[in-house]
């Protein structure tokens, strides 16, 4: 597929980028660590992206100090008033949606339609946050003591640290920052080193909303840096909550450091998601869902379909149709900004190499590559980041299948009974997203019961990828147990306070205790 022309200077000028671009901001003020500018290569064509000055620990400390000062003021602002900046921000994003999506697509290789969807997710979070600002509800509790009233209320927690991954360079930040702001918490965001421009671009739009609404400097903060900044955040007692999205390895390190200081961690880590297809399934529906779940974002979603569990009765027919679909989809691999592209590049050459290593390992175990897997060559793929998606036969217990490879590899497994299929689904360390395709009510209900999927997300007749923001997003086991976005996920960003009021003249004690002086 042909490549688009090299990006023009106005792509970057639209967001006010300088060269090099300062790598830290406290909302109104940009800060720059006087170090060596760092520039990534676009996975689309291998060309250098605008350079960014990485922030060091000294700049990070300045940012956190400003965030702490902002908290003293921001926590006293009524929640509906806090949400005004979120409302204005969402309106501005609607006008800049295409510009931001184009930049995201070129920086990380996500196809343009998916990048538009990611920006729309941020807009949806803004709408959700505005509504949430009037719904931070507590509980009224019945007291056992006469003339006493008990209730719960929620207060802002403090400065929240946010660490995000490259594959959703703005949406995951919004899950956290929008809710935290409404709850009264300033945020300090460390984006992935692989996607700093997307972060800086959305912050330039946010800065306009901040200035228009008079939000104190330091409520929203951005620090671009390497892993040292992330480690510093995890150890920083000034950040009572760290929300971290990334690999299981990274999450373990963050969790250990935060636990040492008795802080809170909200972790969204790896996935190893499965789809079960039963003989009672609508196979056309299942095929469409499997295709997007396995190929979307070139297999670089935490909710990407990694394992396809097929009943033996439909195994051969379903697999044959799926391979034909992969053959068609592979004709549309290329420049993610081209409107006909379905599959863009991986984030970098290291990701392509990791895919090759995983395929070599699974074949050594005895698996067979039924389709694809190779790194593509030629002028249209000169970045070295384009791969053909792979379909591979495998066994669930193999080490390569037990871990997450962030690439479009689909392992195919066979089952006889639904109980066996559920055991395969649950038989990995991760527990993020899961799906079953069936028109049989009993099968669906078993999958959703306590004996069914052990994942944080369980779907029926819909794939594991593409969650709505209205529900709490997150998973169990090595996925970390965190919940973000909708439902009552806002409670993670606040502190609960139980209140008892005695409006009588006596002092009865709980549990009937008598203590007379």
Q: Which residues are catalytic?
A: 268, 302
C-alpha 368/C-alpha 373 separation (Å) is 11
Q: Write the DSSP symbol of residue 26.
A: -
Neighbouring residues of 494: CB distance < 8 A, sequence distance ≥ 6: 136, 154, 155, 156, 157, 183, 184, 185
Identify whether the C-beta of residue 286 lies closer than 8 Å to the C-beta of residue 275: yes
Residue 480: both structure tokens together = 């970390």
Specify whether the CB–CB gap between 1 and 341 falls below 8 A: yes
- The set of residues, in sequence order, having a beta carbon less than 8 Å from that of 257 and lying 6+ positions away, is 231, 234, 235
Burial group, residue 260, by CB count within 10 angstroms (0-12, 13-18, 19+):
exposed
Closest CA to 318 of 412, 453, 409: 412
Spatial distance between the Cα atoms of 96 and 14, rounded to a whole number of angstroms = 10
Distance of CA 390 to the CA centre of its chain: 24
The neighbouring-strand residues paired with 412 are 308, 393
H or E segment to which residue 400 belongs: helix 399-402
């Amino acid at each position: 597929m042909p490549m688009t022309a090299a990006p023009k200077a106005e792509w970057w000028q639209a967001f006010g980028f300088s060269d090099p671009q300062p790598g830290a901001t406290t909302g109104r003020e940009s800060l720059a660590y006087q170090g060596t500018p760092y520039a990534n290569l676009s996975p689309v064509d291998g060309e250098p992206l605008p350079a960014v000055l990485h922030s060091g620990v000294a700049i990070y400390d300045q940012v956190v100090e400003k965030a702490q000062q902002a908290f003293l003021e921001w926590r006293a602002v009524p929640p509906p008033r806090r949400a005004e900046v979120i409302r204005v921000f969402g309106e501005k994003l609607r006008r800049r949606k295409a510009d931001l999506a184009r930049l995201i697509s070129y920086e990380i290789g996500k196809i343009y339609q998916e990048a538009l969807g990611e920006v729309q997710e941020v807009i949806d979070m803004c709408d959700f946050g505005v509504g949430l600002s009037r719904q931070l509800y507590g509980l009224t509790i019945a007291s056992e003591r006469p003339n006493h009233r008990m209730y719960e209320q929620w207060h802002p927690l403090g400065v929240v640290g946010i660490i995000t991954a490259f594959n959703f360079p703005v949406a995951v930040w919004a899950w956290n920052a929008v809710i935290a702001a409404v709850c009264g918490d300033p945020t300090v965001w460390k984006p992935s080193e692989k996607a700093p421009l997307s972060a800086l671009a959305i912050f330039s739009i946010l800065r306009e909303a901040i200035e228009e609404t008079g939000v104190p400097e330091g409520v929203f903060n951005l620090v671009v840096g390497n892993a040292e900044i992330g480690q510093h955040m995890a150890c920083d007692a000034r950040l009572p909550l760290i929300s971290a999205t990334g690999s299981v390895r990274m999450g373990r390190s963050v969790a250990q450091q935060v636990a040492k200081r008795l802080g809170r961690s909200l972790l969204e880590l790896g996935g190893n998601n499965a789809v079960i297809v039963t003989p009672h399934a609508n196979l056309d529906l299942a095929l469409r869902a499997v295709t997007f779940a396995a190929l979307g974002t070139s297999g670089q979603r935490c909710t990407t379909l990694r394992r396809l569990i097929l009943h033996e009765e439909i195994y051969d027919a379903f697999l044959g149709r799926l391979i034909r679909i992969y053959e068609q989809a592979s004709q549309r691999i290329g420049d993610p900004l081209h409107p006909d592209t379905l599959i863009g590049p991986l984030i970098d050459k290291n990701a392509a190499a990791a895919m090759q290593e995983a395929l070599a390992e699974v074949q050594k175990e005895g698996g067979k590559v039924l389709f694809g897997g190779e790194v593509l060559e030629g002028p249209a793929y000169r970045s070295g980041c384009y791969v053909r998606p792979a379909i591979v036969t495998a066994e669930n217990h193999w080490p390569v299948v037990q871990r997450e490879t962030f690439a479009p590899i689909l392992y195919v497994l066979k089952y006889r009974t639904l109980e066996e299929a559920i055991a395969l689904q649950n038989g990995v360390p991760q527990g993020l997203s899961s799906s079953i395709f069936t028109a049989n009510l009993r099968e669906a209900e078993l999958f959703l019961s306590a004996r069914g999927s052990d994942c944080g997300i369980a779907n029926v007749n819909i794939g594991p990828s593409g969650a709505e923001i209205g529900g709490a997003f997150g998973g169990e086991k090595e996925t970390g147990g965190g919940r973000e976005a909708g439902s009552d996920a806002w409670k993670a960003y606040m502190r609960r306070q139980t209140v008892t009021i005695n409006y009588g003249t006596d002092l009865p004690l709980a549990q009937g205790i008598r203590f007379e002086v």
